[in-house]
Amino acid sequence: MQKSEVGMRCVGGMRRIVLALVVTAAAAGAWLAWQQSLRLKEPFQGYAGAEQFVEVPGGAGPRAIGRLLASAGVVRDPITWRLAVWRSGAATRLKAGEYRFAGPLTPAAVVEKLARGDVFTRSVTFPEGLTIRQMASIYESAGLGPARQFVEAAGQGSLVHAFDPLARDLEGYLFPDTYLLPRRASADDLVRRMVERFERALTEDLRDAARRSGMSIRDLVTLASLVEKETARADERPLVAAVYRNRLAVQMRLQCDPTVIYALEQQGRFSGNLTRADLAVASPYNTYRYAGLPPGPIAAPGQASLEAAARPAAAPYSYFVSRNDGSHAFASTLREHNRNVQEFQVQFFRRRPRSASR
């Protein structure tokens, strides 16, 4: 056999070997791709227990996030994660924050969760008209921590000294709203957010209105807290504010029941019912004994009450009394007020069946 024939046979053999290797590699690649494709569709949970929390730091890229998720058992491995991110096109939309995972998820579902920024938060809602101690009770019942921690955090009057240098605590300045908190948020974190929310509610227009009427921010918030405690009706808030503004203008005592209740609560003496004897309680918050506004807010006013205190109705009223249906009867003169008291208080309770008064 000639050398050329031998060489050609060797070359042909080499070609067949190379071709076989290429085919094998292609088959292996196809098999691996098929396996990866299956993994993308397969829900996975590699952590023990019912839930797993993962903190994604700001600035982390897909590779770093994949390592975190894989080590936490949320995704099977970093390669599967990166393939899911590549297929989703969400590589630049993954958001930082703490995420909660509960139960098996596909890699695609994990990518979607991070792209949405579906971070774990705890919700707590504070209605209008609450004191610090009442808010602290809600804080504790929501499982956020002991009530005393909230009370201590709310004692930082310095947080509002920029506009109320007299504040010894944050009574009235913790804005009532719903707050979404990270899992590790402290009472101090929450209180600071509530103060920031209050500052946004206290718009420049409201501050200007207070200045034009000769009121400090503390005066405005104190008046708004009285309005908040007196009525829940939107149409009555400007009227209640007008009554108190009119009384202040002539140095008439405000005679506001909620201020007496606040004084009694501060002393641990409020039984749930306000009596005639209670109206004589010794406290600067007792507006039956002392003229002018009380020393500070008695509760946290909402936006509507702040607006009413800053812009009261142009009404001549100096009196109002409850109609016992959530509304009030307003009067300009004492004679008219006494008639309203007779109708809506004295006669109302006389007409009630005996069983209803128990």
Place of tokens 């909620």: 258
Radius of gyration of the chain (CA): 34
Torsion 206-212-218-221 (CA) sign: negative
The structural domains of the chain, with segments of one domain joined by +, span 52-116, 122-201, 218-317
Judge whether 252 and 318 are in contact, CB under 8 Å: yes
Instruction: Encode 127-145: b = buried (16+ Cβ within 10 Å), e = exposed.
Output: ebbbbbebbbebbbeeebb
Alpha helices per DSSP H over 98-254: 107-116, 132-141, 147-153, 187-201, 204-212, 217-230, 237-249
Q: At what angle do helices 217-230 and 303-310 cross, to 10 degrees?
A: 120
CATH number of 52-116, picked from 3.70.10.10, 3.40.430.10, 3.40.50.2300, 3.30.1490.480: 3.30.1490.480
HSE-CB at 59 with a 13 A cutoff on CA atoms is: 0
**Nearest to 330, CA basis, from 308, 313, 347, 352:** 313
The 3 state secondary structure assigned to 254-277 is: CCCHHHHHHHHHHCCCCCCCCCCH
From first to last of the 358 residues of the chain, give the pLDDT tens digit. 555 555 555 555 566 555 544 444 444 444 455 555 657 889 999 999 999 999 999 999 999 999 999 999 999 999 999 999 999 999 999 999 999 999 999 999 999 999 999 999 999 999 999 999 999 999 999 999 999 999 999 999 999 999 999 999 999 999 999 999 999 899 999 999 999 999 999 999 999 999 999 999 999 999 999 999 999 999 999 999 999 999 999 999 999 999 999 999 999 999 889 999 999 999 999 999 999 999 999 999 999 999 999 999 999 999 999 999 999 999 999 999 999 999 999 887 887 765 444 4
Gap between the Cα atoms of 234 and 213, Å rounded: 22
Gap between the Cα atoms of 99 and 96, Å rounded: 9
- pTM greater than 0.75 (yes/no): yes
Length of the chain: 358
